[in-house]
Amino acid sequence: MKVSAFINLDLNTILVCTSCQYYFMKKLTFLLNKHFVDNKVFLYLSKQVYIIKDKGGFFMAQSKVSAIAQDLVDKIKHQQYKPGEYLPSEHQLMDLYGASRETIRKALTSLTDLGLIQKIRGKGSIVLNLDRYAFPISGISSFAELNNQLGLKAETKVLLLQKEEHLPTGFIKYFPEEKNSAGFHLERLRLIEGQADVLDCDYLLSPPINSLPKDAAKTSIYNYLENKEKLEISYATKEISVCTVNQRIRDLLQLDNELAVLVASRNYLADTTKFELTLSYHRPDKFKFVDFARRKKIKF
């Protein structure tokens, strides 16, 4: 579906869709599955979801699950659902979003994985009171995705992007098995509310990565790899430690001493191909990493 025009007149909205030849007119009497949520319109077109915002403009979500999850995250972020309060019940959310129980449960699971809610049997999903800079350890997300999900006022500065024939010296200590591997060396400084808080040093192995444009490095390399290169990013192994850093990193992160939190990651595609090595240096006074561990009894 290609949208050629969008005019917002409160809830009297005209949306012209050139490819499907539908014209959505006054009072939003659509021929398609649609729902209002706080003056947003959710259009479910086969496998695509278009969300029309009340102040104009639209964006496309990958699925109903991601669209609903993102809307709930936005409400938590702006404290429409405050810490200690319960989200609407599954049945209420089904009515609200025009979605199945399975879709709602998957969306709530996404929020649980982010550490934003806790499901309590018989009561529902309670919003948790977490530090806004608490990043989840489990899962694999780009900084851009976390920025959107957690509402950080963040920007990225690309410090370095170049092709290498061998693994750079700073990576060899943590990834000795890849010392002779060619790849793209990328360094990005992450600023939150104007302060440098994270230095991400990435090495994208080549193959499987054959190119990496600078604009993708500045925005989201995962978005580029998944949508342009059609690679399926699947899982990662992470090691977290406190390490001593050199003067350059101290200056970039404006550290008072030589200690920083280091997250070393090996990232893999769905076919188990290793594609990325990451050394992520964090200011220890700004970030804490959160994971939710659940006890599971294993019977033999």
pLDDT of residue 79: 84
> Same CATH topology for 64-127 and 134-290?
no
C-alpha–C-alpha distance, residues 266 and 181, integer Å: 14
Task: Give the model's pLDDT for residue 41.
Answer: 60
pTM as predicted: 0.58
Question: C-alpha dihedral over 109, 113, 119, 121, to 10 degrees?
Answer: 70
SS3 193: coil
> Which pairing describes strands 40-45 and 259-269: parallel, antiparallel, or unpaired?
unpaired
pLDDT per position in the chain (300 positions), as tens?
Answer: 333 333 333 333 333 333 333 344 333 444 345 555 655 666 655 555 555 454 444 555 567 888 888 889 888 878 899 988 999 999 999 988 888 999 999 999 888 877 788 888 888 999 987 554 555 555 555 555 555 555 556 788 999 999 999 999 999 999 999 999 999 999 999 887 788 989 999 999 999 999 999 999 988 899 899 999 999 998 889 899 999 999 999 999 999 899 999 999 999 999 999 999 999 999 888 766 666 555 555 554
Q: How far is it, in rounded angstroms, from Cα 282 to Cα 265?
A: 14
The token duo for 125 is 């999903």
Contact 147, 155 (CB under 8 A): no
CA dist 128 and 83 (Å) reads: 5
What are the extents of the domains in the chain? 3-61, 64-127, 134-290
Q: Are 3 and 14 in contact (CB under 8 A)?
A: no
Longest dimension (CA), the chain: 63
What is d(CA 101, CA 82) in angstroms, rounded to the nearest whole number?
23
Structural fold of domain 134-290: Chorismate lyase (3.40.1410)
The two structure tokens encoding residue 141: 């997300």
Task: Give the architecture-level CATH label for domain 64-127.
Answer: Orthogonal Bundle (1.10)
Q: What is the pLDDT of residue 207?
A: 94
Total count of residues recorded for the chain: 300
Q: Which two tokens stand for residue 225?
A: 């790899």
Asked if residues 278 and 198 have their Cβ atoms less than 8 Å apart, the reply is no
pLDDT of residue 62: 61
